[in-house]
Chains A and B, each alone.
Chain A
Amino acid sequence: MAQGIAPLAPGLTSFLKSLKTTPADPSVEHLISLLKRRQIRNSRPCAIATTALMLRVVGEFKGRDAAKLVERIRQVGRRLTAAQPREVVVGNIVRRVLGLVREVLDDNTGGDSHAGSDAGHHSPAQHDSMTRPTLSSSISTFSPLRHAAAEPMDASMTSDMSDSSEMSRRPPLLTSHTSYAPTSAAPLVNSLFGLFSQPEDSNASTPTGATSPDGKTANSLNLERLADLSRSTNIDLKSEVMDGIRELQDELEQSDEQIAGVALEHIHSNEIILTHTASTTVQKFLLSAAKKRKFTVVHAETYPHDNTATHGILLTGRKRETRLDEDEDPWKPLTATGIPVYVIPDSHVFAIMSRVNKVILATHTVLANGGLVAAAGAHMIAKAAKEHQTPVVVLSGVYKLSPVYPFDIDELIEYGDAGRVVPYEDGEFVDKVDVEHPLYDYVPADLVNLYITNLGGHAPSYLYRIVADHYRTEDITL
């Protein structure tokens, strides 16, 4: 639009453009400022920006030291998440990239000593995780699945005192892992990853602190292992990780299509489907079902924070802020495919619910316990659906799935501009009355019947397993 003087309004597009020419460090600063100013917001733009930045960071990384790369990524990730803690997706992407690095290492080092043990022995390890150790509630970003609770590195990192007993118990297994293998090889594998996180901890270079008293014993062992590793490392770490990040980018791009691909399995003819907010994922899902079936959509407008986008997406079939896919062929609005759409104010949800036979929700973040954070109003919709025994389906890309465990729900809720609720022109009112405008709702897992991700459909109770597949335990605390 205003492309003359200011090339672009600061946002995702301008960031991606500048990323091509700017080196990594200024780009990190750039993204941090964009996140802080909320010029990049919502899950997908955040995910795209973070992935692009990670590609850049890894691309510019010099040297072959895996531990240093991990530390570099973590350091960037920590700053990004600190800039905007409520955009959990940023942290998710950083953790995914860390996981990639560890995986590359894993494939190359684990290969000689115990070939194939990785894939084979992972599952028994996860079964161990069913028996969770006592969680310290003071750490809100604690992993729900401490399947590697046995591993010394992780324990020392999270500085959980309850683990120190295990620490003292564990070292023997590192020295003689062959003898330990019959019971479980997985801790071994995990402890191998821990190698790279441990040294920084004792260096005390991490602001998250967590210098553990038992760090020393573990550390000496780690150094031994690290030396082992560097001898055998002949891999092109960087290019493999970058390939992985590109795959991640593809995943981000395709997740909507993949979710939409299963639409016909979930929507039958003449259904009345209730949804809310302007979500590209939901619109694509419904559009894909609309190709074959006729159904009716009831759309709550999500006043006041998302109503413009909602009306916009229904009228034009696209969000206004997604300038990024300008080149991409615009998809038609749902109404153009012959699907009747009824827009209702949010207050009507309960009244309408008795006739609705499926609720499809978009989400901001999915948490490891199966709950989700979604646009405000989602909780009452899900609750009303529960009261009417209407199934609630949540659509979410795997990238929104976060290992964060919601100990303090209020932490995750962002409050928006009160001027959207009562305009500031009404000064007297704004002065005297506390106007509140929560942007997000937390929806507990028991109100959700089904999650559909780009991997397929899952029960909320199964999400922890997908978390385990995508994130390494040692990365959960960045």
Chain B
Amino acid sequence: MTVMQQLITIFLCSAATILMRFLPFAVFSSDKKTPAYIRYLGKALPGAVFAMLLIYCLKDVDLLHGSHGLPEAVSVALTVSLHLWKRKTLLSIAAGTLCYMILLHFIF
């Protein structure tokens, strides 16, 4: 690829991202009333999307090979239990991450 072609590739990626981010706001502009169905989606989506993002983060876990997803399972379980106990977001995240790094480094 020439430098020009590389730049075009970069700008196309930027354009696609901007398009996807702005499209909902452009279609449902603030001056018109948003249709009830879309408002419903806006309210109902976060739960589903957070679940999807969590699975997206864990998509590389291979249950059948390697460490069988054990370090991930243990670290997520620790994050969840600590959070249910203390309800301190930063603490839960830090502990879960450290746990994962330690498991990866020393055990798996």
User: Are A and B bound to each other?
Assistant: no
By a beta-carbon cutoff of 8 Å, the part of chain A in contact with chain B is: none
